[in-house]
Chain A
Amino acid sequence: MALLLTVNAFAKEKQHGEEAGEKDLKTEIKEYIAHHLLDSYDFSLYSYTNDAGEHKYVGFPLPVILWDGGLKVFSSSKFHHGETVAEVGGNHYALYHNKIYKTDANGTINYDADHHPTNEKPLDFSFTKNVFFILLVSIIMFLIFSRMAKNYKNSAMPTGFGRLLEPIILYIRDDIARPNIGEKHYRRFMGYLLTVFFFVWIVNLFGLTPLGVNVTNNIAVTLALALITYFITTFSGNKNYWGHIFWMPGVPTPMKIILAPIELLGTIIKPFSLMIRLYANITAGHIVLMSIIGLMFIFKNWIGSPLSFALAFALSLLELLVAALQAYIFTMLSALYFGAAVEEGHH
């Protein structure tokens, strides 16, 4: 099923690539990749140029929510994919590099010396494509797992899809939570660990489909996940945990003073590494995959396309593995940090 979708993706990319015309193809591909990786204010699956030369988008708009001296809610269709200025309640907003700026009626954007826009940026709570997708995945997860839970009321054995999911749940419990956190405390963290594993995995898998949604390559998403891990670790830290951070036992006093700030910094670096690892792995995978697909349009000869196809195919398989692996690593390391936080002193 995933393979089929990947092949579909190629077809769509191709369609898009062909209409790029004879302009600077390399720049075009680069921009397309960069654009693909970004969040967007509407849910567009793909775009094409019709015979009349109009740029058409297939998809639907999503609500834009701004806080700019009051709540402003309007449909992202007002931007016409960044081509026009949206006028809401006397204020004008324009899209520039996928960010909303407050402009005048003409959509003028002023730049500073480094070519950064100087226009005011309203506080943006827009229900973007990624938010939409996060919500969608959450709803799907809730439906699947609450149904699975209901099944257990009738029979002790899982039924249907639960038969596939139960071993994964048991794996997380028996091979991630129990050995890393310990028999006594692991139950408290199971809810978060299971949710984060399935969420990251499902979202990563959807990122590989041609739907064009890449949730985990947004630093905001990985920051949110890492921050939750950080707060759970910090708030469940016991005396032993804090003792090891501020007054490391078993080392000479001057060393203790040196170690304290390092250890304290370590508590922040750990979730920070979680955030960067997930973000970088998924982003890198997408960039490489799309670049290889892009090669097809640059070579334009009989070697290029099959080669690019074979490479992209192999890489897609690898990405399938990476999708699960990153979810596993995130869950595993979170469990490790929780384990350190609740570990009982044994001195």
Chain B
Amino acid sequence: MIVCVAVVGHQNNPLYIQSFTEADDALKLHHIVHCSLDVVDERVNNPKKSGPMLNETFLGLLYPTDNYKVYGYLTNTKVKFILVTTDLDVRDADVRNFFRKFHTAYVDAVSNPFHVPGKKITSRIFAERVSTIVKSFGLNSAG
């Protein structure tokens, strides 16, 4: 199950962050997202580790914790997407698929002429699309 997704701008400014848990652990999840930003920077500045997947937008598993797995994605425009999930056996293909759909939703949201670049994404439609994508992620990995 996905517990948190975040969009972070190129100056590490939060553009959108949403958790999907009932429990009151938003702060903890935000903290995890925050920590992952350093890992993203590290991955991008030391590309040797990534080897053949040089400069791919999908950054893969950033770091595993006891309860969560954190995945990252960096667009050409230096916007970072972070995904925090509690599933411990996630298929890479599912995560890639998730990020692809998420990216499409993001692009549609920022292409709104009333959206101010670099400001938080407040679109309700975007929020709805994201929660649909998040829900479908659970179904995919189960089936």
Partners in one complex: no
Residues of A within 8 A of B (CB): none
